[in-house]
Amino acid sequence: MTVAGRRPRARCPFPLPPALVVAAALFAFPAAAVEIQGAEVVSNPGADKTYATGDAIEVAVSFDGPVYVTHSPSLTFTITFTFQVGPQQQSEQREMRFVDGGGTRRLLFRYRVQEDDQDTNGISFGTGAINGGTLTDGQGVDVPNALPEALSDDENHMVDAVAPEATAVTIVSDPGDDGIYAAGDHIDLEVSFDEEIVVSGAPELLISVGTLSRGAALLEVRPQRLTFRYIVQSGDLDDEDGISVQEDALRGGTIEDAVGNPAKRALTALAASANHKVDAIEPQVNGMEITSNAGDDDTYVAGDAIEVSVTFDEVVHVTTPCTTATPVDLQLLLSVGERTRAADLVGGSGTQALRFRYVVQAGDLDDDGISVGPTALQGGCLRDHAGNPSDRRVPSVPAQAAHKVNAGGTEPPLVTEVEIVSTPQAGATYATGEAIEVEVTFDKQVHVTGEPVLTLSIGAHSRDAAFATGSGTTRLEFRYVVQEGDLDEDGISIAPNALRGGVIEDSVGNAAVRTFRGLPADSGHGVRGIGSLQATLAIVSAPRSGDTYGLEEDIEVTVTFAGVVHVTGDPILELSIGGNTRTAMFTTGSGTRALRFRYTVQAGDLDEDGISIASGALREGEITSGSGGVVAVYFQALPAQPRHKVNGIVGPRVTAVRIVSQPASGDTYGPGEQIDLAVVFDAAVHVTGSPVLGVSLGPSTRSAEYLRGSGTDTLTFRYTVQEGDVDADGVSVAANALSGGAIAGASGDPASGIFAGLPAQPGHKVDAERPTVLAVWIASSPTADQTYRLGEAIEVAITFNDVVHVTGDPTLTLSVGGVSRAAGLVSGSGSDSLTFRYTVQQGELDEDGISIGANALSGGVIADINGNGVVLTFQGLPAQAGHKVDGTVTAVTGVAIVSGPAGNRTYLAGEAIDVAVTFGGVVHVRGEPVLAVLVGGGTRDAVLLSGSGTDTLTFRYVVREGDLDGDGVSIAANALSGGTIEDTAGNAVTRGFAALPADPAHRVDAVGPTVSGVRIVSTPEDDANYDTSETNEDEERLEEAVRVN
């Protein structure tokens, strides 16, 4: 290219060399230096005019021409710190680093606010110079670097990077007088800060409940205070020290001050508080037993009471009603034939055993025995001391053959109770002329016509109590007046069904059913309508040999009076022989002062201390005095008589019973183990048939079968432990527990089955009861938003009713978004709680919350210390809304250049190249990610411009002097680096993407044209000298095409 210029022709007084002419043309007018025009803050702190931690303060310095930068210049500005105590202020300088604008008229400097920076008046600049680096113009001439004027405190650009700080954490809820939170109670805690805060997301506070961490959710936000609440879950337990809070317990969400400074979350740990304990372990039913006894033929009749005891593993309390949804009292439902009958609570609240009673009604019928189902406990409010509602599931009781019911028809009135309602005037004995009053209660109103009577048993005689009052009510009263000669030392009794005579019917004429159980003798209602005689006792016989009566020897006893007595009937005298009652029959003495009684020793009788006789041992028959009146006989008890022992045993005797086996491990037999017991005799015995030995295991009796020993003095019996057998204090054997078969000595004499028994043996316990699952719950808490992210651990705890030990690798199956996932065991072997863990994998999603199916535990071996395998049956856990899962990862879906050059498809120096990176969902950015852009042969960093909180991030690179790319900008694969980019769930995004090839629509040329040569193309008219007004023409050659304005 040629740029020509013409000058006026003039005569030069001397000729100039051509080179000197060119130099003069090129350098006759030197360029002026570039000057600073001014500086201004160009960043925007937002509506509050305040920069927070991490915000960028940017200042642009303007020049009157392009400026080129080498090295790293900086710009100094001032931040003034205002102290809270007193008016003192302190100023500190900060340096802004050069970041962009080289080769342009505007240089950009940036400072990123650091934690604890603060300037409430606004930043300021002095008139000092730009420090460091080198600023030059296009000719390489240094540019002056002094700012022309100072910038005073600018209230539009204040700084507050002092983070809020948590000052205290306190428990503000009240567990009640007992200081214990139960299931469903809320634990509220407050965290206080030293300045006002702004909260977004869902922060939570971790509290320590026993050995577990529980997440308390945000409940309320106040200017300087956050309130968190945790709802106590079933299975939570901290009954030793109380709940506590650790230093790092504040998690998740965003907590900032008004300008966006993240709060300092470190807390002063809250020590365990005994006033805030937790007990959310619900009481469990241990067992159920029918405690009443049926009458004849194991059958209850109308009016009989069926009583059932339900035992729990801890003390329970009953109140009624619990809520409006349970308006009835606590009842136990019994299956009586095809009907359901409600047994009412009659006692036990405040203990571990509740007692229920049902009175059989007319029409009740159950031929195979009453039964109880697993959901029999209904109504009322049943809780432990902490207020936890009890698990009402009871062990099913199948039909009980010993508890049948037959109450006949459905209409007639039934007797429900017979009771003596009178009281003797003195002591516990009615005298002659006193009235004995008995009340008979029916299940409905009855009417009486005629003269019904109730027969009383007074001593050996029957006496009729006449109807007195009560017709038209449910209670009839009968009365008997004691007569001379009536005598009953142990108290009145009433035989079953002793109501007769007259007519008793309901209002429609249905005759009352007069069946009822008898009333046993009651010592509080004795009768003495006669005189009494004092007597003395004496054993007047003597053993044939020594001091011991043998088999078939006679023992004779006399009862001696002060005067003559007469006997009618057959009186007896009861002897105590070895703790057993034996009857001595009256033989002679009527009409004398001494009555004689005789007992003949029977086989098996044994009394090594001597015979004794109780004070009331003379019974039956009648004894009258000389005056003819019936008398009561009184004498002092006869203690054991060592000169009158008894041994009626002829065959071998048992001398010892002992356990001769040993548990396989420790002191406890497990299921399938054999307990061997030896019964030792004083001589060899022979066995026929199949004798058994009763063995006591806890409350149950088991039969040990004969194993071996016939022909020796020791018989061995064996019992094989069955599943469910338990005896915590050791196996025992009751006295005289040998039965069945035949055991005899060498002479054929039967062996004695009498022995003292074997007390509980602590070295021979039994545990064949399999542990069961009490509770399943999720023990971990998500970091934020009630949602587990990729890589977070989900922990589930399973609590058992006994300590368990684990071998192998059991797993617990979780349902995560409908897909089964196996959680592996991480801890708990040797305790009553196992913890399983599962780590969230990429792509997993469960928006309703994790659930656990019923019976989802499998693999490995879980057993108690005695090897009893756990019963793996348990209820599932429904979807837990507080334990959602989001392991999905957002990825890059596209990369595109979204800017355009100002002209001719080429970016020049100072123009911006914008690149959009699009993701598969909304992303959030922290820090300063960069996108590497290939410009020519070099890599340039495009910095983030905008897009956090959307699905597209825009990056910008400003073209610099010297950049050149003739075929277009390109971007290498996976060129996104730095900073933190996360999806809305907090998962880091996948940054990989395919390369973007060179695009000719986005070329770059920031290299100015250069002169490659200069030559003179004109010729002077004469002598190589140009005269005035002559034109001098020269030609400049450039390396590329240019435009000239």
CA distances from 554 to 306, 543, 579, 614, 667 (A): 47, 8, 19, 20, 50
Select the more confidently predicted residue: 220 or 28.
220
In degrees, rounded to 5, the angle at the alpha carbon of residue 936 between the alpha carbons of residues 932 and 938 is 50
The answer to whether the CB of 809 falls within 8 A of the CB of 825 is yes
For 418-435, the DSSP string reads EEE----SBTTEEETTPE
What pLDDT, on the 0 to 100 scale, is given for residue 13? 36
Select the more confidently predicted residue: 86 or 41.
41
**Average pLDDT rounded to a whole number, residues 472-486:** 89
Any residues with CB less than 8 A from the CB of 325 and at least 6 apart, and which?
Answer: none
Beta bridge partners of 31: none
What pLDDT, on the 0 to 100 scale, is given for residue 410? 52
Radius of gyration of the chain from Cα atoms? 54
The model's pLDDT over 175-191, given as tens digits with 9 standing for 90+, comes to 888 889 888 889 999 99
Residue 23 has pLDDT above 50, yes or no: no
Residue 843 has pLDDT above 80, yes or no: yes
Residue 414 DSSP code? B
Select the more confidently predicted residue: 986 or 610.
610
What pLDDT, on the 0 to 100 scale, is given for residue 942? 94
Select the more confidently predicted residue: 469 or 48.
469
The model's pLDDT over 798-814, given as tens digits with 9 standing for 90+, comes to 999 889 999 999 999 99
Strand order in the sheet with 892-897: 892-897, 912-919, 952-958, 938-946, 930-935, 976-977
**Average pLDDT rounded to a whole number, residues 58-86:** 70
What pLDDT, on the 0 to 100 scale, is given for residue 892? 94
What pLDDT, on the 0 to 100 scale, is given for residue 1014? 67
**Average pLDDT rounded to a whole number, residues 542-554:** 88
User: Between β-strands 845-846 and 884-886, what pairing exists: parallel, antiparallel or unpaired?
Assistant: antiparallel
Q: How many CA atoms lie within 13 A of 548 on its CB side?
A: 12
Stated pTM of the model: 0.39
What pLDDT, on the 0 to 100 scale, is given for residue 691? 95
**Average pLDDT rounded to a whole number, residues 213-241:** 88
Q: How far apart are CA 254 and CA 272, in angstroms?
A: 27
Beta strands in 754-901 (DSSP E): 758-761, 765-767, 773-778, 787-789, 793-807, 811-816, 819-827, 831-839, 845-846, 857-858, 861-863, 884-886, 892-897
Residue 182: phi and psi, rounded to 5, are -110, 175
**Average pLDDT rounded to a whole number, residues 694-713:** 94
* Cα-to-chain-centroid distance, residue 647: 64
What pLDDT, on the 0 to 100 scale, is given for residue 83? 35
Q: How far apart are CA 84 and CA 297, in angstroms?
A: 93
Beta bridge partners of 497: none
**Average pLDDT rounded to a whole number, residues 378-385:** 83
What pLDDT, on the 0 to 100 scale, is given for residue 25? 38
Residues of 458-493 as b/e, b for ≥16 C-beta within 10 angstroms?
bbeeebebebeebeeeeebbbebebeebbbbbebbb
Nearest to 124 by CA among 98, 96, 88, 99: 96
Residue 600 has pLDDT above 80, yes or no: yes
Residue 1045 has pLDDT above 60, yes or no: no
Nearest to 731 by CA among 698, 753, 704: 698
> Where does the pLDDT of residue 111 fall: very low under 50, low under 70, confident under 90, or very high at 90 and above?
confident
Q: How many CA atoms lie within 13 A of 752 on its CB side?
A: 23
CA distances from 311 to 396, 545, 549 (A): 14, 56, 50
What pLDDT, on the 0 to 100 scale, is given for residue 1031? 74
Any residues with CB less than 8 A from the CB of 523 and at least 6 apart, and which?
Answer: 428, 490, 491
What pLDDT, on the 0 to 100 scale, is given for residue 82? 41
> Where does the pLDDT of residue 322 fall: very low under 50, low under 70, confident under 90, or very high at 90 and above?
low
CA distances from 831 to 75, 428, 683, 798 (A): 66, 59, 51, 11
Instruction: Supply 984's token pair.
Output: 């809305």
The model's pLDDT over 91-103, given as tens digits with 9 standing for 90+, comes to 777 888 888 888 8
Select the more confidently predicted residue: 1038 or 393.
393
Q: How far apart are CA 112 and CA 54, in angstroms?
A: 6
Residue 27 has pLDDT above 50, yes or no: no
The model's pLDDT over 653-680, given as tens digits with 9 standing for 90+, comes to 899 999 999 998 889 998 899 999 999 9
CA distances from 951 to 695, 801, 845, 887, 924 (A): 78, 52, 20, 18, 9
Residue 64 has pLDDT above 60, yes or no: yes
Nearest to 883 by CA among 852, 842, 921: 852
Identify the helix (H) or strand (E) that includes residue 733: strand 731-733
Q: How many other C-beta atoms can be found within 10 angstroms of the C-beta atom of residue 3?
A: 13
* Cα-to-chain-centroid distance, residue 338: 39
Sign of the torsion angle spanned by Cα atoms 572, 576, 580, 582: negative
The 3-class secondary structure across 332-365, one letter per residue, is EEEEECCEEEEEEEEECCCEEEEEEEEECCCCCE
Q: Is 18 helix (H, G, I), strand (E, B) or coil?
A: helix
Residue 526 has pLDDT above 80, yes or no: yes
What pLDDT, on the 0 to 100 scale, is given for residue 88? 47
Helix, strand, coil shares of the chain, percent, nearest 5, are 0, 50, 50
The answer to whether the CB of 154 falls within 8 A of the CB of 115 is no
- Mean pLDDT is lowest, of 59-63, 272-276, 466-470, 526-530, for 526-530
What pLDDT, on the 0 to 100 scale, is given for residue 1012? 62
Select the more confidently predicted residue: 385 or 223.
223
Residue 137 has pLDDT above 90, yes or no: no
> Where does the pLDDT of residue 59 fall: very low under 50, low under 70, confident under 90, or very high at 90 and above?
confident
Q: Which residue do the tokens 């009749």 mark? A: 301
**Average pLDDT rounded to a whole number, residues 986-990:** 85
Residue 110 has pLDDT above 60, yes or no: yes
The model's pLDDT over 926-975, given as tens digits with 9 standing for 90+, comes to 999 999 999 998 999 999 999 999 999 999 999 998 899 999 999 999 99
Q: How far apart are CA 279 and CA 243, in angstroms?
A: 11
What pLDDT, on the 0 to 100 scale, is given for residue 109? 84
Q: Quote the percentage of the chain above a pLDDT of 70.
A: 90
What pLDDT, on the 0 to 100 scale, is given for residue 681? 92
Mean residue pLDDT of the chain comes to 85
